[in-house]
């Protein structure tokens, strides 16, 4: 894993940087010395120009390695006019006089620019015949980029296409496959659990909440042979099913509602992706379609609002979101996050390990990583309008008009303010230390180099607040300003109401990304590229082509190798699937669509296996491959490889349907087994129950704990979807909030929503969920941890939320059961779906003699039986 990505290091190699410093120091002396190409210019070219205009590649067909190459120039014409810097494109672009400013990924120092100017004035001579070889990257990229996949590596089970072998024996396929292993190992399978346990299990499993007493009774009293199937159908049809199973996918998608890092900006539209996931599960969207929309929802044949929202999947990475264009290397991190998420989430492989070197354990050459990176490289962040294109265009037009008029009047306001601004600034400068004031007071030409720095620091960054300007304005000017300001207010009234937006991605040219909030570079720092300089989103009429991406030697952003073509993991590719499927409109490259097609192809050996294994994991508590995110060598081999394959093929054959798979797995005898069965023989042979000889009891996950409390208390607000909610947090907890948002909402029905709707703040996970092992929101997670710690006990015993819900639960019991002597029974039935036994009833009655019902039901919410799925 690489860690050095945000280093505050010079963006160019040190050699050039030191060299620039030397020029600066030499100052006036060197003005007399002629500029030498080999000593002065070559290091600059080597560091900043030859990466793209050298041996490896010649962008715009410009080759700057030789004088002739520079004189001839590229597709935009000659780059060098000896003796005339102002006519030389090379100088104009590095000095910023012509756009786009060069180099693309940085900026030359003023000293470097000056050196180039003087070199051109002096005739732009090339004194070095030695340039050709020393000019190229230190080692030929071909060596560093080598790495293939040996034929034997493809023989591992995970890279072979799954095959549906005959079911070994009669009965349910799942039981038949499991039965083989039981027999082999001499294991006795557990008997079926009782109906009450089963109905509770099915509810938790499919909708994440316990059934009501009436729902239990309905199932228990249904003696028809279809009772179980009917129950499953009913639950699969429930809108709460998507909330439960969508949550599993959101873990994989590392979904959150905020950016993370220092500013942790709000993502006001992120929830639409969360709702998209929930809805997709509810409508049983085939997994191949689901994936295609999330990876290429903007490129598929029938683009819909949903498919645009779906592209939020790739954009769900934690983001620095601050002076992004000062730090272009951040983009590599976001791409890495996408590759890691698709890798472990969809393919079950640690593809991101191949970023800096060939994968140490799995047959993934580094080149495959960069092929995948090239497949994603064209991506840019966009907020897709969720209206018709006409509405969106009308909105954009109206918005532009309003902005143009507002800007025009603001400029007038600034003109009126100008004389006063100067006065205020002079006043403000006086607040700075004496050395600064002195530097500013010194005429520019007479400032020492140090004074130049001191003065610049202040004069370039200090501004005059309008309120202060107002105070000193002449009445007539102030009147004029107010009049203009009133005009702005009038114009603002025409600002169109925002249209709904989806936070997603599409293809474009990231180098021309318009500034977002917080993206403004610090004054004098970084490269601010306006959208007008180039095309952020491709408008045509020609076809879009993505900016070039490169193999990065040792993963180092500054060590570019070959330009990469898109592609996939060699070891998991059969035949030669297309690497780009450009859509008819020509606006995107179609590389992501090709990636999605490869992922969802029946010839992809991993995708179906990985997802059926995830489904299995959630039903049975342990995957057939226990390491659900890692099908590579460092993961674990499947306990039942034939079953996994059978299920994978069955899944694809039945239309990649989740609901079909639930039906299949849940109707097996294995699923219906008791979790409390034990046998010395079994414990001896398979103590970890890897072979599923009994049902695996397990603690509810974080959301299910909170949701069940709300369901049992009767307070649950069952509203589906919409913007996130902010359950009340103690003031002390809120002191941990350093940035971003947390709305202060009262404890009440508005926030008593299911936990999947709680605002997922990257820098501050919701405490109750966090203490019950909410996974880190910044990394894709397939298996949640289960820990047992005193803070969970403190929370369930003492937290105001839980105590209050217990009181509401007691109210509910009293309301539904007028007979006080039967209230213990009622409470048990609501919380645990069963009546208490005689001893429990007696203990409860004893307790109620001195204590209230709220106390008793509070205890029920803390019972192991309440917190465990059995």
Partner 1 sequence: MAEFSSRRKFLFESCGGVSGLGLAWLLNADNLLASGCADKAPGAVMSAKKPHIAPRAKSVISLFMSGGVSHVDTFDPKPALSKFAGTPLTGKGDIVVRQGHPGPLMPSPFTFKKYGQSGIEVSELFPRTAAHVDEMAVLRSVFSKSNDHVQAHYALATGMIRMGFPSVGSWVTYGLGAETQNLPAFVVIYDGRGAPFGGPINWSAGFMPAQYQGTVFRPSGAPIVDLRPPQRITPEEQRARLDLLEKLNRMDLEKDPNNSELAARIESYELAYRMQGCAPEVVDLNTESPETRKLYGLDEQVTEPFGRQCLMARRLVERGVRFVQLYHGGLGNQNTDTWDAHENVHSNHTKHAAEVDQPISGLLTDLRARGLLDSTLVVWHGEFGRMPISQRGVGRDHNPGAMSIWMAGAGIKGGQVIGASDEFGYKAEEQPISVHDLHATILHLLGLDHTRLTYRFNGRDMRLTDVYGEPVKQIVS
Q: Is 814 in the site for partner 1 (CB under 8 A)?
A: no
Range 716-735, binding partner 1 (CB under 8 A):
730, 732-733, 735
Of the ranges 67-75, 155-163, 450-458, 601-609, which one interacts with partner 1 (CB under 8 A)?
Answer: 450-458
Question: What would the x/- binding string for partner 1 be over residues 98 to 127, using CB under 8 A?
Answer: -----------x------------------
| Contact residue for partner 1 among 690, 728, 814, 834 (CB under 8 A) | 690
Beta bridge partners of 505: 381
State the DSSP H helix or E strand holding residue 73, giving kind and residue range, or none if neither: none
Q: Is 7 in the site for partner 1 (CB under 8 A)?
A: yes
| Contact residue for partner 1 among 418, 463, 678, 684 (CB under 8 A) | 678
| Contact residue for partner 1 among 38, 412, 778, 816 (CB under 8 A) | 778
Q: Is 764 in the site for partner 1 (CB under 8 A)?
A: yes
Number of other residues whose CB lies within 10 A of the CB of residue 249: 23
| Contact residue for partner 1 among 37, 157, 395, 432 (CB under 8 A) | 432
| Spatial CB neighbours of 342, under 8 Å, sequence gap ≥ 6 | 295, 351, 372, 599
Q: Is 556 in the site for partner 1 (CB under 8 A)?
A: no
Number of residues that bind partner 1 (CB under 8 A): 126
Residues 547-582 as b/e (b if ≥16 CB within 10 A, e otherwise) read eebbbbbebebbbbbbebebbbbbbbbeeebebbbb
* Choice between 654 and 690, CB closer to partner 1: 690
* Choice between 235 and 869, CB closer to partner 1: 869
Beta 698-699 vs 868-869: how paired, if at all? antiparallel
Instruction: Quote the CA–CA distance of 85 and 118 in Å, as a whole number.
Output: 8
Of the ranges 564-572, 651-659, 760-768, 813-821, which one interacts with partner 1 (CB under 8 A)?
Answer: 760-768
Instruction: Quote the CA–CA distance of 716 and 808 in Å, as a whole number.
Output: 11
| Contact residue for partner 1 among 592, 762, 812, 823 (CB under 8 A) | 762
Q: Is 160 in the site for partner 1 (CB under 8 A)?
A: no
Range 181-240, binding partner 1 (CB under 8 A):
none
Range 603-622, binding partner 1 (CB under 8 A):
621-622
Q: Is 353 in the site for partner 1 (CB under 8 A)?
A: yes
Q: Is 304 in the site for partner 1 (CB under 8 A)?
A: no
Q: Is 146 in the site for partner 1 (CB under 8 A)?
A: no
CA 492 → CA 215, 489, 620, 673, 674, distances in Å?
A: 55, 5, 58, 66, 66
Number of other residues whose CB lies within 10 A of the CB of residue 515: 15
Of the ranges 81-89, 220-228, 455-463, 811-819, which one interacts with partner 1 (CB under 8 A)?
Answer: 455-463
Neighbour-count burial of 407, counting CB atoms closer than 10 A to its CB (0-12 exposed, 13-18 middle, 19+ buried): exposed
* Choice between 195 and 762, CB closer to partner 1: 762
Q: How far is C-alpha 652 from the chain's CA centre? A: 27
Task: Tally the residues of the chain.
Answer: 870
Of the ranges 147-155, 202-210, 446-454, 717-725, which one interacts with partner 1 (CB under 8 A)?
Answer: 446-454
Residues 735-749 as b/e (b if ≥16 CB within 10 A, e otherwise) read eeeeebebeeeeeee
Please report how close the Cβ of residue 506 comes to partner 1 at its closest, in angstroms.
26
Beta bridge partners of 758: 725
Cβ(336)–Cβ(350) below 8 Å:
no
Instruction: Quote the CA–CA distance of 732 and 743 in Å, as a whole number.
Output: 15
Cβ(199)–Cβ(215) below 8 Å:
yes
| Contact residue for partner 1 among 60, 68, 160, 791 (CB under 8 A) | 791
* Choice between 200 and 659, CB closer to partner 1: 200
Q: Is 28 in the site for partner 1 (CB under 8 A)?
A: no
522 closest CA partner among 740, 322, 263, 333: 322
Residue 122, helix vs strand vs coil: coil
* Choice between 207 and 854, CB closer to partner 1: 854
**CA angle, 482 as apex, 481 and 484 as ends, to 5°?**
65
| Contact residue for partner 1 among 532, 676, 684, 821 (CB under 8 A) | 676
* Choice between 458 and 661, CB closer to partner 1: 458
Q: Is 842 in the site for partner 1 (CB under 8 A)?
A: no
| Contact residue for partner 1 among 5, 37, 126, 157 (CB under 8 A) | 5
Q: Is 465 in the site for partner 1 (CB under 8 A)?
A: no
Q: Is 519 in the site for partner 1 (CB under 8 A)?
A: no
Q: Is 332 in the site for partner 1 (CB under 8 A)?
A: no
| Contact residue for partner 1 among 585, 684, 738, 821 (CB under 8 A) | 738
* Choice between 74 and 782, CB closer to partner 1: 782
Cβ(219)–Cβ(234) below 8 Å:
no
210 closest CA partner among 837, 854, 832: 832
Q: Is 684 in the site for partner 1 (CB under 8 A)?
A: no
**Backbone phi, psi, residue 342, to 5°:** -65, -40
């Amino acid at each position: 894993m690489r860690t050095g990505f945000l280093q505050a290091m010079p963006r160019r190699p040190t050699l050039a940087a030191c060299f620039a410093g030397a020029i600066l120091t030499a100052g006036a002396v060197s003005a007399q010395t002629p500029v030498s190409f080999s000593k002065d210019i070559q290091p600059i070219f080597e560091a900043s120009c030859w990466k793209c205009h050298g041996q490896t590649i010649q962008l715009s067909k410009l080759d700057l390695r030789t004088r002739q190459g520079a004189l001839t120039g590229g597709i935009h014409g000659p780059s060098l006019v000896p003796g005339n810097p102002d006519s030389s494109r090379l100088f104009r672009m590095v000095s910023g006089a012509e756009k786009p400013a060069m180099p693309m990924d940085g900026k030359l120092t003023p000293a470097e620019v000056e050196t180039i100017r003087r070199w051109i004035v002096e005739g732009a001579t090339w004194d070095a015949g030695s340039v050709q070889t020393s000019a190229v990257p230190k080692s030929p990229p071909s060596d560093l980029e080598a790495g293939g996949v040996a034929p034997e590596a493809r023989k591992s089970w995970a890279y072979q296409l799954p095959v549906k072998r005959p079911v070994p024996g009669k009965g349910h396929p799942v039981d038949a496959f499991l039965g083989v292993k039981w027999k082999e190992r001499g294991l006795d399978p557990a008997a079926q659990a009782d109906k009450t346990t089963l109905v509770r299990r099915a509810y938790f499993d499919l909708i994440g909440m316990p059934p009501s007493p009436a729902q239990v009774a309905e199932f228990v009293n249904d003696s028809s042979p279809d009772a179980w199937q009917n129950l499953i159908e009913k639950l699969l049809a429930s809108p709460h099913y998507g909330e439960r199973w969508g949550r599993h996918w959101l873990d994989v998608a590392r979904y959150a509602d905020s950016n993370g890092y220092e500013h942790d900006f709000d993502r006001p539209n992120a929830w639409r992706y969360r709702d998209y996931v929930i809805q997709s599960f509810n409508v049983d969207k085939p997994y191949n379609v689901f994936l295609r929309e999330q990876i290429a929802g903007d490129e598929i044949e029938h683009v819909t609002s949903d498919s645009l929202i779906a592209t939020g999947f790739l954009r769900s990475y934690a983001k620095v979101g601050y002076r992004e264009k000062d730090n272009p290397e951040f983009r590599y991190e976001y791409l890495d996050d996408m590759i890691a998420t698709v890798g472990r989430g969809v393919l079950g492989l640690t593809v991101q390990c191949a970023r800096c070197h060939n994968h140490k354990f799995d047959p993934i050459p580094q080149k495959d990583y960069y092929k995948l990176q090239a497949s994603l490289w064209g991506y840019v962040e966009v907020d897709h309008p969720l209206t018709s294109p006409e509405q969106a265009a009308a909105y954009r037009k109206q918005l532009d008009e309003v902005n143009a008029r507002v800007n025009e009047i603001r400029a007038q306001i600034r003109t009126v303010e100008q004389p006063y601004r100067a006065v205020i600034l002079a006043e403000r400068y006086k607040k700075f230390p004496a050395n600064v004031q002195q530097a500013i007071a010194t005429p520019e030409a007479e400032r020492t180099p140090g004074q130049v720095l001191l003065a610049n620091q202040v004069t370039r960054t200090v501004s005059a607040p309008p309120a202060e300007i107002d105070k000193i304005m002449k009445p007539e000017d102030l009147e004029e300003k107010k009049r203009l300001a009133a005009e702005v207010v009038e114009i603002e009234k025409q600002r169109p109401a925002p249209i709904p937006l989806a936070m997603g991605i599409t293809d474009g040219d990231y180098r021309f990304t318009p500034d977002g909030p917080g993206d403004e570079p610090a004054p004098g720092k970084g490269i601010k590229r306006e959208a007008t300089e180039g095309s952020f989103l491709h408008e045509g009429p020609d076809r879009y082509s993505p900016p070039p991406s490169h193999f990065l030697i040792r993963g180092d952003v500054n060590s570019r190798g070959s330009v990469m073509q898109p592609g996939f993991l060699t070891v998991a590719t059969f035949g030669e699937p297309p690497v780009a499927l450009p859509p008819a409109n020509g606006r995107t490259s179609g590389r992501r669509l090709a990636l999605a097609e490869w992922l969802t192809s029946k010839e992809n050996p991993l995708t179906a296996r990985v997802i059926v294994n995830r489904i299995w994991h959630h039903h049975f508590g342990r995957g057939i491959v226990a390491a659900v995110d890692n099908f590579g060598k460092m993961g674990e081999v499947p306990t039942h490889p034939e079953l996994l394959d059978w299920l994978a093929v069955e899944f694809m054959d039945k239309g990649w349907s989740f609901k079909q798979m639930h039906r299949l797995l849940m109707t097996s005898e294995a699923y219906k087994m008791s979790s409390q069965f034990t046998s010395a023989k079994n414990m001896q042979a398979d103590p970890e129950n890897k072979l599923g000889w009994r049902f695996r009891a397990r603690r509810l996950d974080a959301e299910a704990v909170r949701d069940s409390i709300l369901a049992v208390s009767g307070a649950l607000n069952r509203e589906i979807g919409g913007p996130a909610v902010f359950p009340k947090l103690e003031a002390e907890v809120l002191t941990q909030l350093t940035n971003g948002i947390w709305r202060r909402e009262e404890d009440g029905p508005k926030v008593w929503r299911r936990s999947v709707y709680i605002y997922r703040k990257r820098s501050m996970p919701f405490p109750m969920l966090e203490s019950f092992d909410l996974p880190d929101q910044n990394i894709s997670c397939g298996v949640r941890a289960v820990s047992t710690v005193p803070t969970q006990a403190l929370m369930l015993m003492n937290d105001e939320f839980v105590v209050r819900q217990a009181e509401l639960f007691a109210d509910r019991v009293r309301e539904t059961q007028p007979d006080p002597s039967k209230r213990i029974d009622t409470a048990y039935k609501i919380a645990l779906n069963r009546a208490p036994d005689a001893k429990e009833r007696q203990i409860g009655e004893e307790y109620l003699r001195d204590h209230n019902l709220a106390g008793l039901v509070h205890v029920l919410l803390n019972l192991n039986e309440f917190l465990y799925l059995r």
